[in-house]
Each structure stands twice: as structure tokens, then as C-alpha cells.
Chain A
Amino acid sequence: MDASDSPAIAVDNLVKRYKTATAVDGISFRLAAGTITGLLGGNGAGKTTTIAMIMGLVSPTSGTVQVLGALMPKQRYRVLHRMNFESPYVDMPMRLTVRQNLSVFAQLYGVADIDGRIATLAAALDLTDFLDRPAGKLSAGQKTRVSLAKSLLNKPDVLLLDEPTASLDPDTADWVRTRLERYRAESGATILLASHNMNEVERMCERVIIMKKGRIEDDDTPAGLLARYSRETLEDVFLDVARGRDREVAQ
């Protein structure tokens, strides 16, 4: 098999059990390089835990996760410089300015021309006006753009996004999606996107994995899902899955 045929992310029989709950229950999937995949599911479906295991922040109870050929979390230092993420569960230090924050993270990721990279991202993501403002004094939309800039600092080959447009107004959310699509088109990066926003997933993703109670309930292209469930929108498909109508409908 040619190296280019290797999946960017390979998840095999992945299980994560905590003391009283099973967050992820034996899921498997492979994401081809250069694709955008949506990870859908209700609250507690296991999306964030799955992404955290792909990032190496949470170790699996059993099963394996490989990112760019490295076993996570054991071999994470082989690939962390080629990955990045954005999540509502983390923030940038509030008292540091946007420029200071981006500069520190750029140095952590070993970016060669830090000032140049920040200037490029500031222009692309419209950050220039508030580069020298403390991160804590930004609006929600501005913070999201800064987080996005941080996640693109090292030009990642694998980008993990956990609800990247949550709490954004429709205009800003659309703006963010456009930038992400542009980045994928320019870089050929692999993007895994966990979201509750069905329009976002339908627009951006060529493949959708639907999770429920830690398991994969369905896995197809958006068009394939709509056709099989005989639905007009992914939201209706999601509701079918969430309310347990998926099996009878899909049959």
C-alpha cells in the first residue's frame, strides 16, 4: 500500500470506560487524508471523548487510535507538531494579547517565521485590528477567530474541531466555515468536525459519522444518509437516530 493511501486517522474497536459509564463503546472508522468528516451525536454520545482520544489527551480503555501512522497517546510526540485543534473546552490565556498568545503557541509548535505567520493569519482571519488587545477583552466571535488562528498556526495536516461555531451568530459562523473550507482546499488537511449544527455538517462534510451512546449508529455521505432515511435534511436524519427511529426508517 502506498503511503498516500494510508488513512490520516484510523480508529479500531475503540472503547473508553470510566468508573460508572461507558463513553465510547467499540467504534471503528478510518478517515482518508484530505477529507472533512462530521461527527454527529447528541449530548453524551461520545464525540468529545472520541476526539480527545484522537488528540492523545485521553487514553483508551481498549482499542487503538492512529494519527498519521502514530499510535495515540503512546507515540503522540511523533505527530503533535502536525496536528492542532479547536474546542470550547479550552481558552487562550485572557491577560495576554492576541499577538502574545499566538506568538507563544507558534514557538511551541516550532513555527519558523513567527511574525510572518501571525501577520498572514491576521490578514486571512481579520484579526489585525485587535492583535494587541488582551484575549479576555474580545467578543465571542473574535475569540473564535483567534482560536481558529491558533489552530492553523502550524499549518496542521490533521485538524480536530469540536463545535467550532458554537455560540456564534450565523454570519460569523458562516465566515468561519468559509475559512475552514478554504484552508482544507489549500492545504489538503484532514478535518474531523464534531458539531450539533446540521447545516454546517451538510455544507462542509463529505462524510458523516453519527454516534449515539458511545456507538456509531450510522456512517455515510450526507447525500447517502438523506436518501436512505428518505429525509430532506440532516437534522431530520439526526432526529430519527436520536429518537430511535433510525433502524426502522433506514430499513
Chain B
Amino acid sequence: MNSSGLEFSFNRTAAMVRRYWYLLISSWPRLLDLIYWPAVQMLMWGFLQLYVSQNSSYFANAAGVFIGAVLLWDILFRGQLGFSISFLEEMWARNLGNLMMSPLRPAEFIAALMVMSIVRLSIGMIPVTFLAIAFFGFNLWSMGLALAAFFVNLILTSWAIGIFVAGLLLRNGLGAESMAWTIMFLFLPLTCVYYPVAVLPGWLQYVAWALPPTYVFEGMRALLIDHVFRIDLMLEALAFNVVLFAGAVFAFLKLLESARAQGTLLQGAD
């Protein structure tokens, strides 16, 4: 029997996914919460886009750029939140000790959280994309392969941030909970969700271009405004994502090691 920490069991990963699925379907407020805020955001930005485009020829030609931005931003934000909330559920339930004492490997735990991030995102976002078609005639799905490239890059970033936050929670307990809810907002101005990178001061543009989602949002504007799919931007985003993801896993393992040293795994205290 392979008994190293590097062993990966789909069976144990499936057990964890099943655990989160049971939790999700046991609570209608949890399900409603998944769709409520993305729908409100999309409607608000959609109507703003409508108003601005009626008063600006530039935005009239850039139809859907705000709605597209808010939907892609929600993939990034909700992807991380879906990951982090599933992890937080273990801390709120005081179940972390049970899991850490079981044969569940960190990689299996992370894989289950990734799956749940996609499940939660799908429940929340898919209906909202149809609402965008119904209200504003904006069809995110018409982006086709470009949407797939945007999605892969955004979800990778969201998982990397989720993994890092999980490490912080293991190490610092629920005292670090607010990080799970707010950390992604640091990316909102820096990754230029609603405006081009050129708007930023020169020195800040270097920071923006070091963040993978910046390439996605620039790529989205290129697609919607110039009708060009920038594969070069997607490949650069992917390269930065590989580095970010590896860094997040490394940080998670170090924080887990530190949590063992500080004795925070059993208590989950703040």
C-alpha cells in the first residue's frame, strides 16, 4: 500500500465532495445565496451599461463590456469564495480535527474544494448568464472557446487564492476568516475589471500585469470591442497562473506545517 502524503485517492476526494453536496442540498438559504448576489450585480451593471451606452457612442459600440466584466469577475470572486466557504464550513462545524486525523491527504482535500468551487459557481452563475440574455441580450456563451480560456484562467487564480486563504485559516483559525471574504477585492482595482490597464499609473501597470486576471479582462475587452481573440494574453495568464498556483500550494503546506507546530489544527480557534 502506498502510504505517502503524495498518494491521491479519488474515493476519498469523492467522499468529501459528497459531504459538501449533502450540506448544500440540506439548506435552501445556502442555495439561494449562490445565485442572489451574482444576479443583483449583473442587473445593476447591465442597467448602468444601458444608460451609459445611450449617452456615449464609445460604449454604444462596446456593447456588453460591463456585463461581460461583471460576469467574469464573478467567476473569479465566486470561484474563490466557493472554495473558501466549503473550507470554512469545516471550521464552523469543528470538523477539521476529524478530517486531519483521517487518512484524507491535503491534495485530496484541496481537490474536493476545487470541485465544490465549480459546483457552487455553476449553480450561481449559469442561471445568471441566461438572465443576462433575457434582460440585456448579452450572451456570454457566444464567446465560445474564448470563454473557455477566460474561465480556465480565472478559476485557476481563484483556486490559488482559495488555497492560500485555507492555509491562513489552518494556521490562524477563524481569526483569519475575514480574509476569505475580502482578499479577492484587492484584485478588483488591480486587475482592471471595468477599465483598461492603460488607465492605471505607469508603476501600477507593472503590478497589474503580474496578476493573471488582468490578461483575461484585457482579452475580454479585445474580444467585445475589437472582435479579436488574443490567445497571446491567455497563454501569458496561464504562465502566471502556474507560478501563482505553485506558490499557493507551497504556502499552504508551510502554513499547515506551522499549524501542526502551533497546535491550531485541533482547536480551530482564533
Contact = CB atoms under 8 A, between A and B. Distances in A.
A218 B26 CA distance: 50
Interface stretch (A72-80, A116-124, A191-199, A235-243): A72-80
Given A49-B263, A77-B3, A109 B22 contact: no
B98 A150 contact: yes
B227 interface: no
B254 interface: no
B97 A108 contact: no
B242 to A, nearest CB: 27
Contacts of A73: 260
A69 B61 CA distance: 71
Contacts of B230: none
Contacts of A87: 97, 266
A36 interface: no
Contacts of A71: none
A57 B26 contact: no
B239 to A, nearest CB: 33
B270 interface: no
A107 B14 contact: yes
Interface string B238-261: 000000000000000000010011
Contacts, number: 109
A127 interface: no
B100 interface: yes
A91 interface: yes
A58 B102 contact: no
Interface stretch (B32-40, B88-96, B154-162, B199-207): B88-96
A93 B76 CA distance: 28
Contact of B18 (A58, A104, A134): A104
For the residues of B in contact with A, the DSSP-based class is helix
Interface stretch (A6-14, A94-102, A203-211): A94-102
B7 interface: yes
B44 to A, nearest CB: 32
A108 B263 contact: no
Nearest to B102: A108
A134 B19 contact: no
The listed residue with most A CB atoms (<10 A of its CB), out of B15, B89, B267, is: B15
B102 A57 contact: no
A110 B11 contact: yes
Interface in A51-87: 52, 55-59, 73, 75, 77-81, 83-85, 87
B51 to A, nearest CB: 43
Interface residues of B, number: 39
Interface residues of A, number: 41
A93 B95 contact: yes
B263 A18 contact: yes
B93 A104 contact: no
B5 interface: yes
A81 B265 contact: no
Given A18-B263, A107-B12, A92 B98 contact: yes
B57 interface: no
Given A104-B15, A105-B98, A90 B23 contact: no
Interface in B2-25: 3-5, 7, 9, 11-12, 14-16, 18-19, 22-23
B89 A57 contact: no
A180 to B, nearest CB: 18
Contact of A78 (B3, B19, B263): B3
Contacts of B103: 77, 80-81, 108-110
A83 B3 CA distance: 14
6 contacts: A48-B266, A77-B4, A83-B101, A90-B266, A97-B22, A134-B26
Interface of B: 3-5, 7, 9, 11-12, 14-16, 18-19, 22-23, 26-27, 89-90, 93-105, 257, 260-263, 265-267
| Nearest 6 pairs of A and B residues by beta carbon | A107-B15, A90-B97, A91-B94, A78-B3, A59-B260, A93-B93
